[in-house]
Chain A
Amino acid sequence: MTAEVSAVAVSKWFGLKVAVSEVTVEFGPGVTGLLGPNGAGKTTLLRVLAGLQVPSQGTVRILGRDPRRDPGVYAEVALVPEDDAVYPDLTARRFVTLAAELAGVGDAASAADRAIGLVELSDVADRRLGGFSKGMRQRAKVAAALVVEPRVLFLDEPLNGADPVQRAHLIGLFRRLGEQGRTVVVSSHVLAEVERMADRVVAMVDGRLAAVGTVAALREAMSDKPRLVTVECAAPRRLAAALVGVDGVAGVRIADGSVVVEAVDVGALARALPAAARELAVRVSRVEPADESLESVFRYLVEARTW
């Protein structure tokens, strides 16, 4: 991965409160989800990464440049803040045009029109932002960020307030931006959203970096946690009884008519399961991992941090 944004040993504290502690992380092209429960330090890290706050310790680089010393880098960077961050008495078009003008875009009006179209606000572009719903204001903020054609885009909880259709649209848009080779960093505490839009996850808990990587790789790295495997079959109780005695199986239970196996050694389970099914003449219709979702991984991460 080519690092376009990097943080090295970054800490940020406010008085006695440590918001971000010793975080070293890199972000490259594609969508990276910055994940964590409320209060984990996501917004602070995002603001430090975007150069809006000085790190108390450590260094941040965007495209190899220090954003605090070299504001020229912002020609290629944009941020969608979590705050409302709009002027209620401006129209959406005027607000996005102002963002384009602030970025020094030559034809600000055309750029604004294009960005407004991307977030599907063209029909209401001449209405004042004060009359917009929260979701529409979010989209106006996203348009204001996209208007500069950023190579690096930071989005802080960008889907807050958006309705399901708009969420799906924005998630698709962020994915497309990532596929175009842009570095898109999206913070969210909603696991399902991050899972849908991010190729890679940076998980934070209590201001510290808890994990970095793809969801599957993170789950793979948790070798101390038994893997949950769901087996759908015609006779779950008989199959469960047979699997209890298999080496590498820590536990078996029945849930929603399926057998849920806690496997310490997935390989052993993979060998034993067909044999047991054949011996019992039980037809197995489906076998799938039950805890490779981001939610499961994140639950493990948070549990691991509650010392």
Chain B
Amino acid sequence: MTDGVIYDRGYRPYDGPRRGRRGARRAVVKDGVRRILGLRRKARRKVLPWSLIAVALVAAAVFVGLHFAAGSIAAALAQGLPRYGELFDFYSRIALLFIAVTGPELLAPDRTRGVLSVYFSRPLTVDDYLASKAAAYLLVAGAIYVVPQAVLHLGLAFLSDDGFFAYLGANLDVLWKVPVVAVAYLAIHGAVVGVLAAHMRRPGMAAAAFLGVVVAGGGIAAELATSNLPSARWLALLAVDDHPRILRDWIFGIDTQTFAAERVGFEPWVSAIAVVVVAAVGAVWVRWRYRRLA
């Protein structure tokens, strides 16, 4: 009998299927969603995103309940209860916090932890990587806008005196208006948080900077736009958070308030262009940054 046995620990080749670039992109999206939601991370990473999601869902149920308590949709409108357009004001604030907390986490750690080389030594281009990160962001942050609106839509359909399907049929426009406005919000916020996360080392700092640019920066720009500075009116366009809201009012045909750009005479289509320009500049900027890093 031998005293010892040496087992072959040699390398066994993997001969299973390989999913190529599509598989790599899917993996980045999946990991992005997990990272945003704190899944498979420490418990403290789950607290903020899931708290905000819970607030969003509970609020949607409360809004439906308030409509139910009002007795009818007409009575609810008479009492000033928010509907699709107005609901964006509430959910955009939740989404703003959500994006501030989770957006930088999507990009910054890959860079600061030196993990980019792990990504780019895979069948993945810079564009694949960034597009997949953007997809993860749109998927989760988009749900914060769309899911509560869907809950409200179905709730109102159930409460409708005309019947469930009659209500859905009469409100088909909601199916394109809500996604378009949600994309406008997501594009503006995503562009700003993307640029900041692509440069700043600490996600916490990037989150603070994001809120500073969107909330404080927007407020300052709005104030300066009505000052006596030369060409001051153009500063109203720097209040980036106003553009999706102006677009929202325009699309839903409501008038929630008069925004800085409107006060200095810009038409709503200017805000539509501003959304596209900010999103495009953000995308090009982040791409330029990562092409240098990769």
Contacts from A to B (Cβ < 8 Å): 47, 50-52, 71-75, 77-79, 81, 83-91, 94, 98-99, 101-107, 111, 114, 117-118, 128, 144, 146, 148-149, 154, 173, 176-177, 180
Contact = CB atoms under 8 A, between A and B. Distances in A.
A52 B113 CA distance: 16
Nearest to B38: A89
5 contacts: A51-B120, A74-B124, A99-B118, A180-B10, A180-B11
A65 B28 CA distance: 24
Interface stretch (B39-47, B73-81, B145-153): B39-47
Contacts of A99: 118, 122
A89 B40 CA distance: 8
Contacts of B119: 102
Interface stretch (B18-26, B164-172, B219-227, B264-272): B18-26
Q: Which 8 pairs of residues, A with B, have the shortest CB-CB distance?
A: A83-B114, A104-B23, A104-B19, A101-B27, A106-B17, A79-B121, A149-B14, A106-B16
B114 A102 contact: no
Contacts of A111: 14, 16
B238 to A, nearest CB: 34
Contact of A102 (B10, B16, B40, B124): B124
Contacts of A88: 113
Contact of B115 (A75, A87, A101, A149): A87
Interface string B130-171: 000000000000000000000000000000000000000000
Nearest to B121: A79
B108 to A, nearest CB: 12
A258 B43 CA distance: 66
Contacts of A180: 10-11
B24 A104 contact: yes
Interface of B: 9-14, 16-24, 26-28, 30-31, 40-42, 45, 109, 113-115, 117-125, 128, 294
Given A81-B114, A111-B16, 7 more contacts: A71-B122, A74-B121, A101-B31, A104-B20, A106-B17, A144-B118, A177-B11
Contacts of A103: 18, 23-24, 122-123
B198 to A, nearest CB: 18
B121 A77 contact: yes
A18 B10 CA distance: 41
Contact of A146 (B11, B120, B128): B11
Find the residue from A50, A86, A89, A117 having the highest chain B CB count within 10 A: A89
A98 B24 contact: no
Contacts of B10: 176, 180
Nearest to A110: B16
A218 to B, nearest CB: 29
Contacts of B28: 102
Nearest to B41: A89
B117 A90 contact: no
B42 A89 contact: yes
Find the residue from B11, B114, B124 having the highest chain A CB count within 10 A: B11
Given A85-B115, A180-B11, A102 B122 contact: yes
A85 B114 contact: yes
Find the residue from B22, B30, B120, B294 having the highest chain A CB count within 10 A: B120
Contacts of A78: 121
A85 B113 contact: yes
A52 to B, nearest CB: 6
B124 A176 contact: no
A149 B23 CA distance: 16
A214 to B, nearest CB: 24
Given A71-B125, A74-B124, A102 B118 contact: yes
B11 A118 contact: yes
B117 A105 contact: no
A106 B19 contact: yes
Find the residue from B31, B45, B121, B128 having the highest chain A CB count within 10 A: B121
